[in-house]
Amino acid sequence: MAQESDDWGLLLAAANAGDAQAYARFLHAISPVVRGIARSRGGAMGEAVCEDIVQEVLLAIHLKRHTWIEGSPVRPWVYAIARYKVVDAFRARGRRVTVPIDDFAEVLPAEAGPDPTQAWDREKMIGMLDDRSAEIVRRIGVQGDSIAETGAALVMSEGAVRVALHRALKRLAALRERFVE
């Protein structure tokens, strides 16, 4: 590793002196290391973002290579630039978290079923009715009883059940309008 850093220093010094081939070898030598830093620190963001970070680091090195002090270690200078570019990528992403689900999409879907909050909302609204109206709505609307079965259970005529159901549904519609707005 010390030999590699010394080589990087020699290559970067030669590149800063105008040697284009040394500069190409320098970039070629540091690219795998920069890619490893990007993947280890920013891997959660995805492969494409990691490659973007690598490109940002290489561009920053190109633009700021004159700031490297000849004779000082190159590796910490490269690591610092890479670290800051990873942080910049996290800042640019913000609080958004994206997780690719292609690999396990088949196990994600839940069984189709009723909305768990729907029953609670329904009972809350029905609970705002008087007891008899609430019972009629529950029997006919929720349990699926017929008008005749409901009338027999509540000792009411079928006509009285129809009228009471109509009035209860009208009150529910008014309550819904009041709470939705």
Domain borders along the chain are 2-100, 116-180
pLDDT at 93 over 80: no
User: Would you state the structure tokens that stand for residue 70, as one six-digit string?
Assistant: 């000849």
Do 2-100 and 116-180 show the same overall fold?
Answer: no
pLDDT at 169 (0 to 100): 92
Is the model more confident about 85 or about 92? 85
What's the DSSP call for residue 1? -
Q: Residue 53 to residues 13, 60, 94, 169: CA-CA distances in angstroms?
A: 24, 10, 15, 60
What pLDDT sits at residue 18?
87
CATH no. of 116-180: 1.10.10.10
Per-residue pLDDT at 110: 63
**Across 70-74, 92-96, 120-124, 139-143, least confident range:** 92-96
Q: What angle do CA 51, 88, 62 make, to 5 degrees?
A: 60
Highest mean pLDDT among 9-18, 29-38, 132-141: 132-141
Compute the mean pLDDT over every residue in the chain, rounded to the nearest whole number. 83
Q: What is the dihedral of CA 31, 63, 72, 32, to 10 degrees?
A: 0
Q: Tokens 């020699």 belong to which residue?
A: 10
Say which CATH architecture domain 2-100 belongs to.
Answer: Orthogonal Bundle (1.10)
Residue 127 has pLDDT above 80, yes or no: yes
In this structure, the dihedral spanned by the alpha carbons of residues 74, 80, 86 and 90, taken in order and rounded to 10 degrees, is -170
Q: DSSP string covering 37-64, please?
A: HHHHHHGGG-HHHHHHHHHHHHHHHHHH
- Predicted local confidence at residue 72, as pLDDT: 86
Residue 3 has pLDDT above 60, yes or no: no
pTM over 0.95: no
What is the pLDDT confidence band of residue 177, given thresholds at 50, 70 and 90? confident
